[in-house]
A and B are shown apart, each in its own frame.
Chain A
């Protein structure tokens, strides 16, 4: 018997045990994690704020950056433009998103599955690609819609001009309405028909019930989606740069870009980025308090059957509207982008002799820059996804198991990048790590670090949800049988989390492949990625090659998303929002 327990500590060995506890491994772990998070999140943000108060050369404290950043009428105008732009996008996203969500969740509109698929399509089309599509559609004279209009009416000039504030708003709204859709549909799916029956029995018709009962019940969700659309819009760089610059107006993101033209004025950019950061933090706080409000608890997921509202002939009107929105978001831009990708010259139209694979051949076999960009994009995104998941999983483990004191600090830091617009994050990274001693500017490292930071909240949300779903007793059972923590992680935790982590990997990988707003500030000549290359091609006006490259990106995204759907189930994309 004693032989079997000889590795137990005897009372005489107590001093040894005491020494062991002083070098508590959990403290070392905590310090390591804190160090990584400080490096990724806190340091760039602090650097951003500090440098906004510093003189460029001497590093002395000054307010001159703010004076310079806000001292010009056009800079203030750009701020105002951003607010108008964001508000316009948000309102239009609600006009597009809410009826579709209602129709799909509550009515007998036909072709629901197809519309749902198209909304998902709108979700995965990067906004800058949509913008290119709309430039081809609604360019002042050469755009397809304008050509059709002129041909039909014999008018001298086109009807639409995408190079305008309203053009920009429409183009971005059609890519961001899925946020409103997803929020609203999720909430509507939880409203019991009994709520509507109660109004019906008192004599209210379908229309009155919908506007007085159903929609008010999901109002918090609509507002939540509206806020997300607003924030997505104001943080956007690609679409505004493609449309606002030729239209000769600025928004905050494009103005920030101007600060980075030679001579680079990081300090002023930092000062000018503050409103974007503060508005985002404030709006997320607002969204949480709106969504978290009590009194709307009928949307609790329990109780009551759900019946479909019969629209009668109106269901085709509803379908028409849904198809119209999908046309703006997906069909039309994709049609013209596909045409351009396979065309010798996109302006020559849809004829067979204009058909060519030359653009793809050029990208894939002739132009090394494009090849590099494609390889870079997928390599960086892949590494980012692994890094973000490894880090967030380690932190989620420590937080859910409460292995260290102050573990909530770790969780908070992981989620913090959620409220930092990509463009602001990029400026922070530039300020912190571009200068010596690290001098990371133009390296793959700085891009991967910035991506990892940017998408850490997505990875953390998935990891933490996965960890919470696993009963700690699963692990304790390993340990009481004699296995250590690491063995428990390897033999039990990892196999159980496999699907979860695969989903999280895709959720990080997809947005990383299309990330533009942080990449544009951090890429160097050898680290260009597809999104940046697309942006450069549009400045050259080479829309055919651009479209072909965009196609490659989209097809790759679709394949990965499809693999994800198959392996992990339909809802994995939705969970992130």
Chain B
């Protein structure tokens, strides 16, 4: 049975549609990210799961029980979830300990039990030595840890995170990504994580739902999402990519200077235009012409930039097709204007819609 189910969830504000019909199911203990650009409806979706916003249509179920439907909505305090907010929302009038104990006290646990659990969770997030501090005396990262402890300690049915790392500096953000994943591996709480940062989503998530303009474009694990994007939006939003156009002739797909059997490109249509996503690092640049019938095209180097970890080239195919972006290791150096060969790997090419 699914832990959390969203079916046809929709939110309209007058004429504006913020969320346009979302279907999503989470298994028990699963970590799913809602990933998308700002304004795509991901935070609205999260807040509808939490109960802060009422959907205009659709239903939300947890453990098979109705949380939200057009005829009635359970308020957030009855949903047995917890949430980590963008601002952390650590209460400045309470100490770290009081913040973390709050949810347990609401559940009327015995005082000793509260103390024990608070102590335990503060050790887990490495905040045990700061239990008596007030939030104003903590750094951003420490406040974040308090927020995490406060949310996890009550062992919620579902944990919700709303861009929790967007206010941290770059180093800390990277550290906290792994921290969040570590805590998930330890407690296995079903989690919905909202972010606009693809690296964050890929580090933390079991599955990622990429959202655009109020809809989910694709839900998949990070590897599939990167290597088999289904739509142009997903391919462009997750990592960098090139789009090349081909013509489907039934068995084969023609790309001008080369052609591929349709069976190689999984899901390509039997006729008409085909757009294919090709990642920059999936192509090989070489001076010598690649042999044994590899798909290839003659190119001229149009632009280049050295980014330390790799070279970033823009190459112009000799047949006048659209320019492509290619990356090479640091020692493969080409001059602007130089001619070269570009080889494709059909296994890393994905037709998109």
Segment from A6-14, A117-125, A522-530 that makes contact with B:
A6-14
Interface residues of B in 220-261 (CB under 8 A from A): none
The interface size bin for chain A is 20 to 34
Q: In the complex, are the beta carbons of A481 and B154 less than 8 A apart?
A: yes
A10's nearest neighbour on chain B, judged by CB, is B65
Of A1, A16, A21, A480, which contacts B79 at CB under 8 A? A480
Residues of A within 8 A of B52 (CB): 476, 479
A476 close to B79 (CB less than 8 A): no
**Complex-state Cα separation, A258 to B66, whole angstroms:** 69
Complex contacts, B5 vs chain A, CB 8 Å: none
Residues 113-129 of B contacting A (Cβ, < 8 Å): none
Q: Is the CB of A20 within 8 A of B72?
A: yes
Kindly name the residue among B63, B76, B86 whose own CB sees the greatest number of chain A CB atoms within 10 A: B76
The verdict on A562 contacting chain B, using a C-beta distance below 8 Å, is: no
Would you call A482 an interface residue if the criterion is a C-beta within 8 Å of the partner chain's C-beta atoms? Answer: yes
Complex Cα–Cα for A238 and B106 (A): 56
B157-190 interface code vs A (CB 8 A; 1 in, 0 out): 1001000000000000000000000000000000
Chain A residues whose C-beta falls within 8 Å of the C-beta of B91 in the assembled complex:
474, 477, 491-492, 496
- A5-B80 in contact (CB<8A): yes
Q: Check A484 for interface membership: any CB of B closer than 8 A.
A: yes
Separation of A16 and B66 alpha carbons in the complex (Å): 13
- A4: nearest residue on chain B (CB-CB)? B80
Give chain B residues whose Cβ lies under 8 Å from the Cβ of A5: 62-63, 65, 80, 157
Contacts of A476 in B (CB 8 A): 50, 52, 76, 83, 85, 89
For B78, list chain A residues within 8 Å (CB).
7-8, 482
Q: Report if A8-B72 is in contact (Cβ < 8 Å); known contacts: A471-B87, A481-B102, A481-B106.
A: no
Given contacts A5-B65, A496-B93, A473 and B86 within 8 Å (CB-CB): yes
Cβ of B72 and Cβ of A480 under 8 Å apart? no
Known: A5-B80, A471-B87, A476-B52. A481 touches B150 (CB 8 A): yes
Complex alpha-carbon distance, A481 and B81, angstroms: 7
Judge if B77 is at the interface, Cβ distance under 8 Å.
yes
Cβ-closest chain B residue relative to A6 = B65
A483 touches B (CB below 8 Å): yes
Which A residues lie within 8 Å of B75 (CB)? Answer: 479, 484
- CA distance in complex: A476, B69 (Å): 21
Indicate with 1 or 0, residue by residue over A454-481, a CB within 8 angstroms of chain B CB atoms: 0000000000000000010110111111
For A12, give the chain B residue with the smallest CB separation. B66
Residues of B within 8 A of A18 (CB): 71-72
List residues 1-55 of chain A with CB under 8 A from any CB of chain B: 1-2, 4-5, 7-11, 13-18, 20-21
Does A9 contact B74, Cβ atoms closer than 8 Å?
yes
Is there contact, CB below 8 Å, between A8 and B82? no
Task: Check A482–B77 contact: CB distance below 8 A.
Answer: yes
The answer, among B63, B73, B102, for a CB contact under 8 Å with A478, is: B102
Would B65 and A477 count as touching, CB distance under 8 A? Answer: no
Least Cβ–Cβ distance between B160 and chain A, in angstroms? 8
Residues of A481-508 at the interface with B, using a CB-CB cut-off of 8 Å, are 481-484, 487, 491-492, 495-496
Interface centre among A4, A16, A473, by most chain B C-beta atoms within 10 angstroms, is A473
Docked complex Cα distance between A14 and B74 (Å): 11
With a cutoff of 8 Å between Cβ atoms, the chain B residues found around residue A483 in the complex are 77, 102, 106
CA distance A10 to B52 in the complex (A): 19
The answer, yes or no, to whether B111 is at the interface (CB within 8 Å) is: no
Rounded to whole angstroms, the CA-CA distance of A483 and B66 in the bound complex is 20
Chain B residues contacting A15 (CB-CB under 8 Å) are 71
Question: How would residues 88 to 102 of chain B score, 1 for a CB under 8 Å from any chain A CB and 0 otherwise?
Answer: 011111000000001
A473 touches B87 (CB 8 A): yes
Q: Known interface pairs A4-B157, A5-B65, A8-B65. Does A479 touch B76 (Cβ–Cβ under 8 Å)? A: yes
Which residues of chain A are near B72, meaning CB under 8 Å?
A: 9, 13-14, 16-18, 20-21
Cβ < 8 Å to B, chain A residues 334-348: none
Give CA–CA (A479, B151) in the complex, Å: 12
The listed residue (A10, A17, A481, A495) touching B93 by CB distance below 8 A is: A495
A21 to B54, CA, bound (A): 12
Distance in angstroms from A386 CB to nearest chain B CB is 22
Q: Is B77 a contact partner of A484 (Cβ separation < 8 A)?
A: yes
Q: Which of B52, B73, B89 has the most chain A CB atoms closer than 10 A to its own CB?
A: B89
Residues of chain A lying within 8 A (CB to CB) of residue B74: 8-9
Q: When the two chains form their complex, are residues A477 and B80 in contact, meaning their CB atoms are under 8 A apart?
A: no
B171 to chain A, nearest CB (A): 25
Contacts of B92 in A (CB 8 A): 496
Q: Which of A20, A474, A480 is close to B83, meaning CB atoms less than 8 Å apart?
A: A480
How many Å from the CB of B79 to the closest CB on chain A? 7
Given contacts A5-B157, A14-B72, A474-B89, contact A480 B50 (CB under 8 A): yes
A480 contacts B77, CB within 8 Å? yes
Contacts of A8 in B (CB 8 A): 62-63, 65-67, 74, 78-80
| Inter-chain contacts of B82 with A (CB < 8 A) | 480-481
User: Contact at B50–A1, with CB atoms within 8 Å?
Assistant: no
A198 to B120, CA, bound (A): 63
CA gap between A471 and B147 in the complex, in Å: 15
Interface centre among B62, B65, B92 (most CB of A within 10 A): B65
Name the CB-closest residue of A to B63. A5
CB of B296 to closest CB in A, whole Å: 55
Find out whether the CB atom of A482 lies under 8 angstroms from the CB atom of B106.
yes
**Is the beta-carbon distance between A482 and B69 smaller than 8 angstroms?**
no
Residues of A with C-beta under 8 A to B80: 4-5, 8, 482
Q: Knowing that A15-B71, A481-B82 are A-B contacts, what are 11 other residue pairs whose CB atoms are under 8 Å apart, sorted by A's residue number?
A: A5-B65, A5-B80, A11-B66, A20-B72, A471-B89, A473-B85, A473-B89, A474-B87, A476-B76, A482-B107, A484-B77
Q: Which residues of A contact B (CB under 8 A)?
A: 1-2, 4-5, 7-11, 13-18, 20-21, 471, 473-474, 476-484, 487, 491-492, 495-496
B binding-site residues for A, Cβ under 8 Å: 50-52, 62-63, 65-67, 69, 71-83, 85-87, 89-93, 102-103, 106-107, 150-151, 154, 157, 160
7 closest A-B pairs by CB: A17-B72, A481-B103, A473-B89, A477-B89, A473-B85, A495-B93, A8-B65
Q: List 30 A-B contacts (CB under 8 A).
A: A4-B80, A4-B157, A7-B78, A8-B66, A8-B78, A9-B65, A9-B74, A10-B66, A14-B66, A14-B71, A473-B85, A473-B86, A474-B89, A477-B83, A477-B91, A479-B75, A479-B77, A480-B51, A480-B76, A480-B77, A481-B77, A481-B102, A481-B151, A482-B77, A482-B78, A482-B80, A482-B154, A487-B106, A492-B93, A496-B92
